[in-house]
């Protein structure tokens, strides 16, 4: 068996606190898909340790956080590979700064082909869900009642929990 894992992090800076608050906090301001080798594949608005903004692979130890929680799902090796391949296909896509402004303004301002962290994570699980029935643990339908680019990290964690992902304990540094 393989494991899909997504880390949810509460960041330390002002923009993280705003995302957390406007996303239904207190909770999380960022989520990152965890590859089998432990690295993150996520979407960020900023340069982090020399890795550009947008969708990229990053080293988890470069993240600053005050709280973290992991959602996991046991899957077959083929399902894991389809999930990772879908994420990797988006590497170098831009970060959707307009979608974040939409959170703050209370409206949808999405740029097609660009991602915020939670949309990237949810879309990757929706991608592999296409081959599952609704009774399958981990199934997330497409479309959801709320577009992925309007889903906060807090809401993404709730979606994964409802779909049957195991939710680990809250960790602090």
Residue 116 resides in a domain: yes
What's the rounded mean pLDDT across residues 48-65? 96
| pLDDT for res 66 | 92
- 14 pLDDT exceeds 80? no
- The chain-wide mean pLDDT, for the chain, equals 92
Structurally, the chain folds into a number of domains equal to 1
Give the dihedral sign, CA 36/42/46/52.
positive
Residue 173 resides in a domain: no
- 24 pLDDT exceeds 90? no
Residue 172 resides in a domain: no
Give the dihedral sign, CA 56/144/75/133.
negative
Residue 90 resides in a domain: yes
Question: Which residues constitute the domain of residue 90?
Answer: 2-167
Task: Please check whether residue 31 is in contact with residue 6, taking contact to mean a CB–CB distance below 8 angstroms.
Answer: yes
- 104 pLDDT exceeds 90? no
Give me the CATH number covering residue 80.
Answer: 3.90.1720.10
| pLDDT for res 113 | 93
- 42 pLDDT exceeds 70? yes
pTM > 0.85: yes or no: yes
């Amino acid at each position: 068996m393989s494991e899909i894992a997504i880390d949810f992090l509460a960041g330390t800076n002002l923009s993280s606190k705003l995302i957390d608050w406007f996303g239904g906090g207190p909770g999380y301001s960022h989520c990152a898909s965890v590859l089998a080798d432990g690295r993150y594949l996520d979407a960020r608005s900023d340069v982090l340790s020399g890795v550009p903004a947008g969708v990229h692979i990053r080293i988890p130890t470069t993240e600053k956080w005050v709280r973290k929680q992991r959602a996991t799902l046991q899957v077959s090796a083929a399902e894991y590979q389809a999930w990772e391949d879908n994420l990797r296909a988006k590497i170098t896509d831009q970060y959707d700064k307009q979608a974040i402004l939409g959170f703050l303004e209370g409206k949808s301002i999405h740029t097609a082909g660009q991602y915020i962290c939670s949309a990237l994570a949810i879309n990757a699980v929706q991608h592999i869900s296409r081959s599952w029935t609704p009774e399958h643990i981990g199934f997330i339908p497409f479309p959801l009642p709320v577009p992925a680019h309007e889903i906060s990290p807090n809401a993404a964690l709730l979606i994964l929990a409802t779909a049957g992902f195991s939710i680990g304990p809250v960790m602090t540094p």
